[in-house]
Structure 1
Amino acid sequence: MIIKPMVRNNICLNSHPAGCAMSVKQQIEYAKKTLSPDVRGGALEGAVPRLALIIGCSNGYGLASRIAAAFGYGAVTVGLSREKAASENHTATPGFYNNLAFDREAAAAGLVSRTLDGNAFLGETKAEIAKAVRDAAAEANIPAKIDLIVYSLASPVRTDPKTGILYKSAIKPVGESFSGKTLNMMNGTFHETQAEPATADEIYSTIKVMGGEDWEYWIEALEKEGLVSPKTRTVAYSYLGPEHSWPIYKNGTIGKAKEDLERACDDINKTYAASGKIAGAWISVNKAVVTRSSAVIPIIPLYISCLFKVMKEMKLHEGCIEQIVRLYRDRLYAAESGDPEMVPVDRKGRIRIDDWEMREDVQRAVMKKMNSVTENNVFTETDVAGFKHDFLEAHGFDVAGIDYEADTDISGNNI
């Protein structure tokens, strides 16, 4: 079929297999160019990952984490995600095509990879991943000891494996209602958004879905399977953002979940790193980027559009792959980080690769735009066009070199 983007309320309902594959290839080329042994900045060979597990591997930061580990460091990778294949009349999810493209590019490069589709919250899935890790390590003839575990899940629901209770997350403020201006990226129009404060049950449910409990369960399961070692590093991703977004983000239900993620990080370190079972656990606070999730959080599309304009003008702009390359090269696997205690962190022990975004001069310029932007000047004062491009690209559209008038096999078999 001929595939055109179907976008409703900042949600894209379809994807393009060839565009997704091309986007994966572009990220691979960036990782190869910036993390090859001669340019990676003297990273210790003993510290870089040889076997990586990416939990949430199919989109955004998770996909970039897998690409950088495999094509930057030559790591064997095992990836887990939950995606949908194409049906007779509907395309697959973009992550489905991304996974296909990654595995085919890895095979062509002689890199061992395994990709599993499943519910990351279930114990059965964790057991399946353990087997996949052993199989991949055996094929690559390396020890079945995971060097890098990336936890990058974005799910709206979770069933607690110990109780069977289904929890649903809610993106809401806490304590008081929120109103603010948000942006329709497709036409540049604004509308006011209103959100009532979350109930106690909604806060608890969001923490259960988006917090750190499942990350802890993963480390516990992998340690029991004998798949971790004193070299194992694990990282989960978070976001803080500027103060004006805090009512809906940092101080809202999402923020409560992120606080629990930090609590889990501390507990993992106390339980496993302190006893030498793993090297350490970290939270990486990342930059605001366009993802399928960020496009629908109130006020965030407008903020990101202003941020992109400023950071591109200052030549500081990064997407997911650029952020993860910098995370690996300059933080987690920098030369001085061979000792886990030397990984650069803030006073709360978090890795900060949102440092350029949160620079005072950047935020001052962004706030100036946020306060002056209107529907009449949105296309000149902000980078709404860049936001729209990144959003469409995440679904395989608006990718250079793709013929969007061509009849396309939506199965992904021709990627």
Structure 2
Amino acid sequence: MVIKPKFRGFICTTSHPEGCARQVARQIEYTKSQPKINGPKKVLVIGSSTGYGLASRIVSAFGAGADTIGVFFERPSSGNRTATAGWYNSAAFEKEAAKAGLFAKSINGDAFSKEIKEQTIDLIKKDLGQVDLVIYSLAAPKRVHPETGEVFSSVIKPIGQSYTNKTVDFHSGQVSETTIEPATEKEIRHTVAVMGGEDWKMWIDALLKAGVLAEGATTVAFSYIGPEITYPVYREGTVGRAKDDLEKTAHDLDAQLKQIGGHAYVSVNKALVTQSSAAIPVVPLYISLLYQVMKEKGLHEGCIEQMYRLFADRLYAGGEVPVDGQGRIRIDDLEMKEDVQKEVLNRWDRVNNETLREISDIEGYRRDFFQLFGFETEGIDYEADVDPDVKIPSIEEK
């Protein structure tokens, strides 16, 4: 079939297997072009099919030569319906790992559930024995609590009062003003339950109890702070409340992992184009301006560059891992440079429908968004027939 992008709101409902495979191949090529990392050898990535999770799996495997297990919740193709991008990404990763002689297996299912945790532990025991790095990179809108059965739904809203600022529709390129109403107490609690640290701790508790964390094992989860422009809808909003909980959990887990000489960290990463960030009002406009400024200054990074730097310059540089005053790893340092933020703020004041294309990288933002789903990728013939039914070897074995 010929596969074209189709949208429902902010969600792209189709994905292109060959485009996704090409994007994965590019990340692998970048990683292989960099110096080898004396890093982890057996890695579990929870949320490994897209974004920072996928990039950290690629860096682990192709940068440090690690065996990897990836956990994700993706949909295979069915009839004329394509698989999700994360499915195609994971299939491409496993194929390339096999070619390179690297162990790679995947588990598809709800990572919040007890069943998937148990299945993952069984697979570690069977094939790896223990893991020395656990990356926690789940991004989900809902969570069913494994013990109470309560269903939590996250929202992206300010807290305390409504928030009004500029935003952009990256499809049409229209700059407008948006107002977001404040979250209720229930919505705050739900967002923390989905995006906070509880499930990360459940994973580490289960892995510790099962004896599958190696001596000195490290675990890392991802966070974001960003500029004051986005604070009301992000860091001081419901998502920020969840990230505060995630960071508190990191301190608790770090203390807990001392029993095996291990550590837990939160890595604060750069703002990047993701399906979830595209749905946050204000953020796409900020990222479009940021990208243009960072590209002009030669500082721009994507997922794979960020994750390579996290591993090579922070986690496995030798010696103590550098952290800020709150114990967080900061690889948002280039984004938050004073001259970068000053210029972004200057452009924020000037951006409108007339100036958007001149002072922002709205086209780059749009292209990056489409490439998340395998579209607008150089070297792919999008008029050609392609088979949407792609297998993930380790999942099809069952």
TM-score, normalized by the shorter chain, greater than 0.5? yes
Question: 1:276-297: CA deviations, max 9, x gaps?
Answer: x241000000000101111111
SS at the partner of 1:331?
A: helix
After the TM superposition, which of the residue ranges 194-203 and 53-62 deviates more from structure 2?
Answer: 194-203
Match of 1:330 among 301, 313, 328: 313
CA distance in 2, matches of 1:161, 1:10: 29
2:226–2:235 CA contact under 8 A, matched in 1:
yes
CA distance in 2, matches of 1:135, 1:410: 32
Aligned to 1:191: 176
2:235 is equivalent to residue 265 of structure 1: no
2:162 is equivalent to residue 177 of structure 1: yes
Aligned to 1:26: 26
Q: 1:134 Cα deviation (Å)?
A: 2.4
1:16–1:396 CA contact under 8 A, matched in 2:
yes
Q: 1:52 Cα deviation (Å)?
A: 0.2
TM-score (norm 2): 0.96
Structure 2: unaligned runs, 5 residues or longer: 394-398
Q: 1:8 Cα deviation (Å)?
A: 4.5
Q: How does 1:5-404 map to 2 (within 5 A)?
A: 5-36=5-36, 40=37, 45=38, 48-137=39-128, 144-273=129-258, 275=259, 277-336=260-319, 342-404=320-382
Identity %: 49
1:172–1:198 CA contact under 8 A, matched in 2:
yes
Q: Report how many residues are paired.
A: 393
SS at the partner of 1:344?
A: coil
Change (3 A) 1:198 1:283: same
After the TM superposition, which of the residue ranges 92-101 and 372-381 deviates more from structure 2?
Answer: 372-381
Q: 1:414 Cα deviation (Å)?
A: 11
SS at the partner of 1:293?
A: helix
SS at the partner of 1:147?
A: strand
SS at the partner of 2:68?
A: strand
Aligned to 2:2: 2
SS at the partner of 2:264?
A: strand
Q: Structure 2: which amino acid aligns with 1:256?
A: R
Where does structure 1 differ by over 6 angstroms across 4 or more consecutive aligned residues?
A: none
1:235–1:281 CA contact under 8 A, matched in 2:
yes
CA distance in 1, matches of 2:127, 2:295: 40
CA distance in 1, matches of 2:341, 2:156: 24
Question: 1:64-123: CA deviations, max 9, x gaps?
Answer: 000000011110000000001112122111001001001111111100011110111111
- Indicate the RMSD between aligned Cα atoms, in angstroms: 1.3
CA distance in 2, matches of 1:414, 1:222: 25
CA distance in 2, matches of 1:136, 1:15: 32
Q: 1:11 Cα deviation (Å)?
A: 2.6
